[in-house]
Amino acid sequence: MSVFPLAAAETVAGFDHVVARLHELEAGAASPYGHCDLGEEAGVVEELLLRAGAGELASLAAFGGDVLGDDGVGTVCTLLSVDEVVRGHGFLAAVGIEALTGGIADVPAATIAGGRVPHGYADEVAELVGELTRLFETAARDGLCLVYLFEG
């Protein structure tokens, strides 16, 4: 799953436009914002946020909010509004990356395949949380939405 900032006006252009924009970014198109690939770790990120007290923001930050579109064959796009991005950024900034990722070894076995945290995994997740936090910061600062694209 990829997450990237996008102007609200571009999200109005619809699902196909948003998917095309992400593919441009993945192909190396210039962007001052970049993107974050949460991949299969979105569930772990959600669990870390829940443990930090994020409540409903945990699911929003890990998986996005309203569905922008679904092609019916495995690609789904969700969206966080500017207001949701600002709320998410406020929480992430207040808690901090270290506090969020400090308990990675305690994430329930059901969240991590195989039930054990592999060597280096905590560092990978901490890096992802850092990337996601920076996207929230940039998007909140510049009044952008965050788009989540699941490609199955």
Reduced to 3 states (helix: H, G, I; strand: E, B; else coil), residue 105 is helix
The whole model's pTM is what? Answer: 0.89
pLDDT at 109 over 80: no
Confidence of residue 60 (pLDDT cuts 50, 70, 90): very high
Predicted local distance difference test score (pLDDT) of residue 115:
66
20-29, 54-63, 85-94: the lowest-pLDDT one: 20-29
Say how many C-beta atoms besides its own lie within 10 A of residue 114's C-beta.
Answer: 7
Looking at every residue in the chain, the average pLDDT score rounds to 88
Which tens digits make up the pLDDT trace of 10-42? 999 999 999 998 888 878 777 778 788 998 889
140 and 86 in contact (C-beta within 8 Å)? yes
Reduced to 3 states (helix: H, G, I; strand: E, B; else coil), residue 7 is coil
- pLDDT average, residue stretch 3-7: 93
Confidence of residue 89 (pLDDT cuts 50, 70, 90): very high
